[in-house]
Amino acid sequence: MKIPYEINNFILHFKTDLIFGQVDDIYRQLMEERTEYELIDLKNVSKIDSSGVALLEEIMKGRTISLININEEQKKVINTFKSRDFQKISKKQPVSIPERVYEMMLLAYYTSKEMLLLTAEVVVWSILDLFSSKGRKKGSVFQQSIVLGVNAFTIISLMSFILGLILALQSAAQLRQFGANIFVADLLAISMVREMGPMMTAILVAGRSGSSIASEIATMKVSEELDALKTMAINPLRYVIVPKFIAITFCMPLLVMLSIAMGIIGGLVIAITYLDLSMFAFFNELFTVLTIKDITIGLSKSFFFAWNIVLIGSYFGLKVEGGAEGVGKVTTQSVVVSIFSVIIYDAIFSLFYMI
């Protein structure tokens, strides 16, 4: 059987007429082959009827495909029987580096503007809601505290304990060589309180709760629940986002303190079992080196990290497009951006507190 078409260089070349009686076989073969192509060449098509036009529309549905080498007779038939406009072929112009830089700067500008407006509105409503809860569901802040805070208790405790264990274990071998076993308490106190506790907690919360926030808001937008709230004269930001913002503001510092405590306990296990230190000596050294400034630095980071996670998750959730696939994309994007921004903020804080 003669093959009625050929595909090469992402171009579909028809070798036969697109008329009734041949279209079914062509369509069946194309669907079985499923080869990608971007152009359809009609140079060797001498006849085309309504069924041929229907074939073209079917294989071009939902795809960016253009027609080339169309003669006047083919244009007349297509214009007569088409149910939609075919995309006209246009040569892609290469984008220069300055244009790409400009596009990136423009995207960054509009994204920053939208993020700033969202932040301002959420902060304002959060402050107002501390005195009045008319715009939100009763008990929503407590519910979100359970979801964002209490339910994260186990994973943060376990990961922080293991992190403290590893930090102490890795440093113990070196400290023993110089008879400086006691300084493992100093290392744990500074690293867990100032850096590892807040950052580890923020990364875990971003992956666990940030993704949940983004997917919940994105699903509500896709299913038009946010539009329904607007129809009922309810502010979606105040009803959906503000309770999460208030809840994580109170929960994050507590989770950070939990992370610090579990990390120190993990280090204490190594200090007692491997470095032969007593519990009294360990905590005496720890409280000697630890200052109010260190605790203030660690807790101040937790607030910024918490707000960052909620606002980024909310932003991406509100920007969702499409259906279930779009929800998955924005959820992934929100987690990646949240974790990246947490690390960047932590670096900025570290530089700031060194000055």
Q: Is residue 118 part of a domain?
A: yes
Helix (H, G, I), strand (E, B) or coil at 91: coil
Q: Are 163 and 71 members of one domain?
A: no
Query: Which of 66, 81, 96 is the endpoint of a domain?
Result: 81
pLDDT 10s digits, 72-96: 888 888 887 777 655 544 555 677 7
pLDDT 10s digits, 189-225: 888 998 899 999 999 999 999 999 999 999 998 888 8
The DSSP bridge pattern shows strands 5-8 and 11-14 to be antiparallel
CA distance 2 to 13: 14
CATH number at residue 15: 3.30.750.24
Q: Is residue 101 part of a domain?
A: no
Q: Is residue 89 part of a domain?
A: no
Q: Are 131 and 31 members of one domain?
A: no
Q: Are 223 and 326 members of one domain?
A: yes
Q: Are 191 and 289 members of one domain?
A: yes
Q: Are 198 and 305 in contact (CB under 8 A)?
A: yes
Q: Is residue 86 part of a domain?
A: no
Q: Is residue 92 part of a domain?
A: no
Q: How far is C-alpha 231 from the geometric centre of its chain's CA atoms?
A: 29
Share of the chain above pLDDT 70, in %: 94
Query: What's the mean pLDDT when you consider all of the chain?
Result: 85
CA distance 154 to 100: 45
The answer to whether residue 1 scores a pLDDT higher than 70 is: no
Q: Are 231 and 127 members of one domain?
A: yes
Domain count, the chain: 2
CA distance 97 to 101: 6
Q: Are 121 and 232 members of one domain?
A: yes
Query: Which of 81, 100, 125 is the endpoint of a domain?
Result: 81
CA distance 353 to 115: 26
Q: Is residue 99 part of a domain?
A: no
**Could you tell me which of 64, 68, 53, 51 has the C-alpha nearest to residue 13?**
68
Domain range enclosing 61: 5-81
Amino acid identity of residue 351, one-letter, is L
Q: Are 76 and 140 members of one domain?
A: no
Q: Are 19 and 114 members of one domain?
A: no
Q: Are 76 and 118 members of one domain?
A: no
Q: Is residue 96 part of a domain?
A: no
Q: Are 37 and 165 members of one domain?
A: no
Is the pLDDT higher at 118 or at 14? Answer: 118
pLDDT 10s digits, 251-302: 999 999 999 999 999 999 988 888 888 889 989 988 888 888 888 888 999 9
pLDDT 10s digits, 154-180: 999 999 999 999 988 888 878 877 777
Query: The whole model's pTM is what?
Result: 0.69
Predicted pLDDT at 71: 83
Q: Are 50 and 198 members of one domain?
A: no
Helix (H, G, I), strand (E, B) or coil at 5: strand
Predicted pLDDT at 91: 52
Helix (H, G, I), strand (E, B) or coil at 41: strand
- Beta-strand runs (E) in 195-268: none
Q: Are 348 and 253 members of one domain?
A: yes
Predicted pLDDT at 305: 93
Q: Is residue 91 part of a domain?
A: no
